[in-house]
Amino acid sequence: MKAVVQRVKQASVKIDNNLISEINKGIVVLIAFSDSDNIDTIKWFANKLINLRIFNDENNKLNKSVLDLNGDILIVSNFTIYGCARKGFRPSFIDSASPEIARKIYNEFIDYIKNNYNLKIYSGEFGAMMDISLINDGPVTLIIEK
């Protein structure tokens, strides 16, 4: 599993100009999956995202998590995060899971977070062409991989 995590003031997902999901203060998680991901990976990754201290405390230090703020989470599948462009100009996606496997893990990941954390969880639509808008807060952007 690999993700780009962005702290946001707000974000939204549209498909064919129709609003699918919208969040306020929280995090946007653009996430990709590999064939080796499993329930242990899902648990580790969920715990990391929920407790990642990327929000400012009263001393302007990154000491608060999305859980501390009761923030929103927008999770969007994005297989291109596993894109490798070391050679040539066309990225290779060999490390990314097949769509069938990735869809299963994506749904399990979202369900796990919804069932184990008391936060508002929103998502994009797996495999769809989406327009994602966001206001990055900071900017604060991290890459997390397991």
The three-state secondary structure class of 125 is coil
Cα separation, 109 vs 41, in Å, equals 9
80 carries an active-site annotation: yes
For residues 94-105, one letter each, b for 16 or more C-beta atoms within 10 angstroms of the residue's C-beta and e for the rest, the string is: ebbbeeeebeeb
Among candidate residues 24, 38, 51, 80, the one labeled active-site is: 80
Separation CA 142–CA 146 (nearest Å): 13
Q: Dihedral of the CA atoms 119, 116, 41, 125 (nearest 10)? A: -50
Output the six-digit token pair for 2. 């690999």
Amino acid identity for residue 32 in this structure = A
Q: Both tokens of residue 139?
A: 């900017």
Q: Which residues are catalytic?
A: 80
